[in-house]
Amino acid sequence: MPADVRVKICGLRDDAGIAAAVDAGAAYVGFVFFPKSPRALTIEQAVPLGLSVPPGVAKVALVVDPDDALLDAITSAVPIDIIQLHGHETPDRVAEVRRRFGLPVMKVVGVAGSEDLPELEAQGKVADQLLVDAKPPKDATLPGGNGLTFDWRLIAGRRWPCPWMLAGGLTAENVAEAIALTGTRQVDVSSGVESAPGVKDAARIAAFIAAAKA
């Protein structure tokens, strides 16, 4: 496995979690602005956290079907580097967000079967990055962070018009297999490095990043 795999630790909520992610070598840290999530932050909570992230680590704002007012509020207060769209945003909306806010956009696409793959192609033409995640169950209240995997063989060896990242049920125990099977150069984890919903565990973060880069 290549040592240059880049890791995103998502759903960070405190200084200790950020320090653990940065010390272990994370390339991205993610802040969740979705009230239903156990990892949700207010804008006021996110400001000092964003300011504490050292240069060279990308700060990602996760939002779900946001309107412009919410994005205005986040981007005017929090030092964000990337907007992660985790809802039902169309390619037109993705392109509109890119134009309006002047920031790279990472679009999440949920995958359960081969019928979901065309959406990756369509979104990959307008987004700066794709995040390929497990599609949530129909009754799920959260669009991600559910600890579910999908059949990685569906995307093995595939390429899209922009860089991409793998998410969905990844842990220190399975991330090396996921990288080997899909060929991904980037992975995202949230619930897989927690001791309880929304509570990041420094040892699990370190173990996950070590396994991804091993």
Q: What is the largest CA-CA distance in the chain?
A: 42
Which residue is listed with tokens 């009754």? Answer: 139
Contact 148, 111 (CB under 8 A): no
Name the residues annotated as catalytic: 10, 133
Contact 209, 187 (CB under 8 A): no
Q: Other CB atoms closer than 10 Å to residue 201's CB: what's the count?
A: 17
Among the listed residues 135, 105, 104, 109, the one whose alpha carbon sits nearest the alpha carbon of residue 120: 109
Among the listed residues 104, 109, 210, the one whose alpha carbon sits nearest the alpha carbon of residue 168: 109
Give SS3 for 107: strand
Contact 146, 191 (CB under 8 A): yes
